[in-house]
Amino acid sequence: MKTNWTILAVAAGALAFSGAALAGDAAAGEGKAEMCLDCHDPGEDFAGVSADEIAGKIKGIVGGTTKHKKELKLSDADVADIAAYFAAEGAK
Domain boundaries, the chain: 23-90
Maximal C-alpha separation, the chain: 56
Kindly tell me if the per-residue pLDDT of 12 is higher than 70.
Answer: no
Cα separation, 21 vs 41, whole angstroms: 27
8 A C-beta contact, residue 89 and residue 46: yes
Q: Average pLDDT for residues 8-15, to the nearest whole number? A: 45
Kindly tell me if the per-residue pLDDT of 81 is higher than 80.
Answer: yes
Dump pLDDT digits (tens) for 21-74: 468 999 999 999 999 999 999 999 999 999 999 999 999 999 999 999 998 999
Q: Give the per-residue pLDDT at 22.
A: 60
